[in-house]
Amino acid sequence: MKLSLTLLGLPFLSLAAALPKITRTGKYLYDETGGRFYIKGVAYQPQGEAAENTEANQANGGFPEPESFHDPLSSPQNCTRDLPYLKQLGVNSVRVYSVNSSLNHDECMKTFSDNGIYVLLDVSLPLNGSIDRASPSWSTNLLNEYISTIDTFRNYDNVLAFNIGNEVVNQVSNTNAAPYVKAAARDIKAYLKSVGSSALVGYSATDGDADFRNSLAEYLTCGGDDIAVDLYGLNNYEWCGDANYNSSNWNTIVSGFQDIPVATYMSEYGCIFQPPRLWTEVAALFSTPVSDVFSGGVAFSYFPTSDGYGMVTFSADGNSVTTSDDFTRLSTQYNATDPPNSPAQSSVTAGQTTCPNESASLVASNTLPPTPNQGVCDCINQKALSCLVTSSTANSPTIVGDLLNYACTLLGTSTNGTANCDPIGGNGTAGTYGELSYCSPAVKLSYAMSAYYEFNPVDSSCDFSGNATLSPTRPNTAQDASSAASQCLSAEPSGGTFTPSPVSSSGASQTSRSTSGTNSASASASASGGASSGDVRALRILGPGSILGGVAILGAILGGGLMVV
């Protein structure tokens, strides 16, 4: 989603007395007094515009993704306008799906903080700023974007959690994207710890049959606090009309989630298919047996949507709010809740579960992608590549994706299979990730074009219909290119995991040289799918001989179609 910018930065406003800090102990949330905290929330995001329904989208669920968004926390006027209605609803939390980190959010965040409202904030952006389920990759551009948003918001006292994904995995066939989601959680948790933030790290999952739903939840919450999400959300719309605990299938969901070792909540709920919405699920959500497993939920949605959700409407000038019967019924239900204050925090023992093996409902390896390394990618781009994508092309993800698929095909056919795009690809099912699989889409494309150029080093080989140019610092020979690449890989901790650093003024995350420990679930694969670290450092830019990597590329580029070379 691209944001319609309507507001420039505002002066910094000092915050009032801090809200109580919410922490997680085991599978429950607690405030500073040791009382249980329940999320009593509402989705707070104006609807964006839907993107084109592509072939890749059809193959991965079929529902159109948004391509634009409107930052709800950048308009002090709108937050002030909506506050009385949020208070009338009785919410203590809002879920916000997309924000523009370059805008100022001080007034909205202060308005909500002063009135006891926490924010659950998704850090990904739609279309081009999130892990692509059709061709997943955890890359430098996404890490930098996530950190930029976190740095904008982490000093506000009412940020409850940063959500690193929403329904990235939505069916069994794309559970191969789950390792990338978990790698993002691992790296964002490490970053938050390094900057002293206690904000939780969350993920919101789509619903599905029990095997799929439970397997994905078990996968993303297993293996210990360093790699498991803190807060696991389920977007659930099964309680429709005058349903009950059993007819809604909530009994099955609660049973399936009872051994999840982290806090869980309904990150979206509110079925509209048997109107009117009675919101009788609220009473169930905030009482046993559901409250024994879930810590509240987020009703969808405060703002109106084109498909019939929403609880309020606005006047033509946007200044006045009209509430619906839907709003009134939810307000009645929320304000009547009195959830149990048990178990006591002192009685809870933090648990850890063993990660599930691959199965018919989960095709995800427990070997995660490495931490994206900006230093290595910059070094490779500057010193080892002869052909560089133009800046205008680099800013068009769709063109980059199409060109990458074309360049990888051209590289394979023109070199009789002696060169390929393995080093920039990854396979979340096999748990194998190329040496440069974490680089940005533009660097990956420059790599593929450079590898082709080295086989036929004439100027026309680096044109690609005007989308690329020869680098002024290009290596003289293919051997020089491979040597430069090897030096880049050996100069930085390119493999394994490490703690990311803040994003620099140039927009790049600075590489941290202090590596963190790994375990069997979080240890990153070597770049050649099992090769030693010495082999990884010997990255070749072209054949003869195969380029190290040993994995099938799955597109690995945002905006590009799925392709196997």
| Residues with catalytic function | 167, 268
Beta 387-389 vs 468-470: how paired, if at all? antiparallel
- Identify the helix (H) or strand (E) that includes residue 550: none
| Residues 294 and 266 sit within 8 Å (Cβ to Cβ) | yes
Distance CA 147, CA 145 (A): 5
DSSP string, 33-93: TS-B--EEEEE-----PBPP--HHHHHTT-PPPB-EE--TTS-HHHHHHHHHHHHHHT-SE
| Helices 210-221, 178-194: inter-axial angle, 10-degree rounding | 30
With contact defined as beta carbons under 8 Å apart, do 426 and 178 qualify?
no
Written as one string, the DSSP assignment of 388-456 is EE-HHHHT-HHHHHHHHHHHHHHHHHHTTTS--SGGG-EETTTTEE-TTTTS-HHHHHHHHHHHHHHHS
Distance CA 158, CA 116 (A): 8
List of residues 6+ apart from 465 with CB closer than 8 A: none
Residue with tokens 């982490």, as numbered in its chain:
154
Is the separation of the CB atoms in 223 and 189 below 8 Å? no
- Per the document, the length of the chain is 565
Distance between CA atoms of residues 178 and 366, nearest Å: 9
List, in sequence order, every beta strand (DSSP E) within 460-531: 468-470
Residue 52's alpha-carbon distances to 142, 256, 328, in angstroms, are 22, 36, 36
User: Can you tell me whether residue 187 is helix, strand or coil?
Assistant: helix
Q: Among candidates 348, 43, 368, which has minimal Cα distance to 189?
A: 368
Distance separating alpha carbons of residues 556 and 426, to the nearest angstrom:
7
Tokens of 264: 């869980």
Residue 391, C-beta contacts closer than 8 angstroms, at least 6 positions apart: none
* Amino acid of residue 360: A
Sign of CA dihedral 122, 125, 129, 131: positive
Distance CA 255, CA 29 (A): 19
Pairing state between β 118-122 and 93-96: parallel
Q: What kind and span of H or E run contains 205? A: strand 200-206
- d(CA 543, CA 385) in angstroms, rounded, equals 15
